[in-house]
């Protein structure tokens, strides 16, 4: 007997389209806005997300909420939402390389602010 389910039982997972996520995620947004999205898209039970109507099997599974959390925690998007990284500003996929982080920091340091950015020290090398 095979350990795999029959082909007719396999239901393809629905792919999230950019127009189905919260529109606030498609533009620049601050931490307060991201926290508000997490509150708006927190279903009290399994069923449908109150913010976007997305069917959720687990409570914290709404795509808008998952993206907002990834942006808040500065973590990569999960694989099922990786195709939205090009649409959502600030979203990333996979691990950053040191050169990518350095380029992002230099770009952030070059932005105008209230005071000059402090000089950064190079990242310490990890030895194993």
CB-CB contact of 56 with 47 (8 Å): yes
Residues 6+ apart with CB under 8 A from 35: 68, 72
| Beta strand extents in the chain (DSSP E only) | 47-48, 55-56
- Tracing tokens 């795509």 back to the chain, one arrives at 63
Choose among 44, 27, 47, 25: nearest CA to 36: 25
Predicted local confidence at residue 68, as pLDDT = 93
pTM: 0.66
- Quick one: DSSP state of residue 29? -
How many other C-beta atoms can be found within 10 angstroms of the C-beta atom of residue 19? 8
Tell whether the model's pLDDT for residue 34 goes beyond 80.
Answer: yes
Domain ranges for the chain? 15-110
Tens of pLDDT, residues 36-71: 999 998 888 778 888 888 888 877 788 999 999 999
């Amino acid at each position: 007997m095979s350990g795999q389910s029959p082909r007719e039982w396999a239901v393809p997972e629905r792919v999230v389209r950019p127009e189905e996520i919260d529109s606030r995620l498609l533009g620049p947004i601050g931490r307060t806005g991201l926290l508000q999205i997490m509150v708006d898209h927190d279903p009290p039970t399994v069923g449908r997300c109150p913010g976007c109507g997305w069917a959720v099997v687990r409570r914290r599974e709404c795509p808008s909420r998952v993206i907002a959390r990834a942006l808040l925690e500065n973590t990569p998007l999960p694989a099922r939402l990786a195709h939205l990284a090009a649409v959502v500003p600030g979203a990333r996929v996979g691990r950053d390389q040191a050169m990518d982080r350095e380029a992002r920091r230099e770009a952030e340091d070059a932005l105008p602010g209230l005071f000059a950015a402090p000089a950064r020290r190079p990242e310490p090398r990890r030895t194993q």
